[in-house]
Chains A and B, each alone.
Chain A
């Protein structure tokens, strides 16, 4: 019963979505107007984009490295406690 309801909903979804397709625009529509003198330089934008990628990547790698370091430190201290406990017995 539930499965039938699910497949009915799914077919309704797909059907209505296919009916509603609007034709998109062809190609890129450029912003017209600003003469070359007033336009923003592109080079800083391109460079900041790639720089941001590198920064993001390194920050993420650093957080992974830091978290792994913490877990491994905990594991080492646990191993020490375990071996000390074992020796005492």
Chain B
């Protein structure tokens, strides 16, 4: 099924992303932050994508660890790479936004700290897989589970601690207070989720090809 809709989905994604700057440009300026607030649309969308990808990694890691399914392992490593990519972009875009809105490039508030921690955990995941030697898929799966377990804390951190980030209610009520922005947030989030599906598919295909190659090596030795 995936093979049939992959190329059409790429076309759709390209079109959606091509229109995104236009949509973002058309949203009226937010009253306190003005132009720099426009970073928000991709910043929010990347964290939405990250949530999806972390969920995939956590579930896939757990399935791999407890059931030993190799396909689960493919999805786990693919989503871990995407976690790092989306996480790095989220931190970078947040840093640029914070430079203007908070006056500093970096601020160790609860959400930024825990988000950095998430990126580091999944970087550790990739390190273990690369340099851990045989059997490292299981160790990496444990890292994936730990990383996925801390994700809800990252989301709730702005509600539980006094942070320089606004609490989660601000985005949840954006639909009533600033509907034009809310529509674009949804639009960008959907765009990023389509991107997640595409990237995940491509990356899993690489893992499947590698497994096929291993099988061919083994068959050759017989």
Contact = CB atoms under 8 A, between A and B. Distances in A.
- The short answer to whether A and B are in direct contact, CB under 8 Å, is yes
Interface of A: 17, 20-31, 34, 39-40, 42-43, 45-46, 48-50, 52-53, 56-57, 60-61, 64, 67-68, 71-72, 74-75, 78-79, 81-82, 85
Interface majority SS (helix, strand, loop, mixed), chain B:
helix
Contact of B166 (A28, A40, A81): A28
A28 B209 contact: no
A68 B206 contact: yes
B66 to A, nearest CB: 14
A27 B43 CA distance: 18
B93 to A, nearest CB: 5
B158 interface: yes
Contacts, number: 110
A75 B213 CA distance: 6
B97 A64 contact: no
A31 B102 contact: yes
A83 B205 CA distance: 25
B162 A25 contact: yes
B138 interface: no
Interface in B82-137: 85, 88-89, 92-93, 96-97, 99-103
Contacts of A56: 85, 88-89
B206 A27 contact: no
B216 interface: yes
Contact of A43 (B35, B88, B89): B35
A64 B42 contact: no
B2 to A, nearest CB: 15
